């Protein structure tokens, strides 16, 4: 158990809909990262938050947004969903300065039909 919790584990929704994925980081970790992994693909970095503020942005679509709340949990919002958005979405967390490792949640499998 990595200590990172993601919900829900599975999500099936229709095209055009909006969903919210949730991530609770490990206790004490300030950074949250969101990644997308399509079938047989590597991890694509979407966005990073550090202590409530956006720190880095990767290949995140304009239809996607995220935020990190004061209690450090994070949500990834995906809107106007398309079939191509079907993927595994992972959240990872890491500590502040001096703690370099990232620990991953079990992921949310999103299926857009």
Q: Is 24 in the site for another protein (CB under 8 A)?
A: no
Q: Please identify which residue in 76, 92, 110, 112 interacts with another protein, judged by CB under 8 A.
A: 92
Q: Which positions from 31 through 90 interact with another protein, judged by CB under 8 A?
A: 31, 33, 35, 40, 42-43, 45, 48, 50, 55-56, 88, 90
Which of 19, 107, 110, 112 lies at the binding interface for another protein (CB under 8 A)?
A: 107
Question: How far is residue 100 from each of residues 2, 11, 19, 29, 103, measured CA to CA in Å?
Answer: 15, 31, 31, 11, 10
Give the rounded distance of the alpha carbon of 55 from its chain centre: 14
- DSSP string for residues in 12-23: EE-TT--EEEEE
CB 60 within 8 A of CB 46: yes
Name the residues that contact another protein, by CB under 8 A.
2, 4, 31, 33, 35, 40, 42-43, 45, 48, 50, 55-56, 88, 90, 92, 94, 96-97, 100-107, 109
């Amino acid at each position: 158990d990595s200590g990172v919790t993601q919900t829900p584990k599975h999500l099936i929704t229709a095209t055009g809909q909006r969903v919210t994925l949730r991530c609770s980081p490990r206790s004490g970790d300030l950074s949250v990262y969101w990644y997308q992994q399509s079938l047989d693909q590597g991890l694509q970095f979407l966005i990073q938050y550090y202590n409530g503020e956006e720190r880095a942005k990767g290949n995140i679509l304009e239809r996607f947004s995220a935020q990190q709340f004061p209690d450090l949990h994070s949500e990834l919002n995906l809107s106007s969903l398309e079939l191509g958005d079907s993927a595994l979405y992972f959240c990872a967390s890491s500590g502040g300065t001096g703690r370099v490792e990232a620990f991953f949640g079990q992921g949310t499998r999103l299926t857009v039909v």
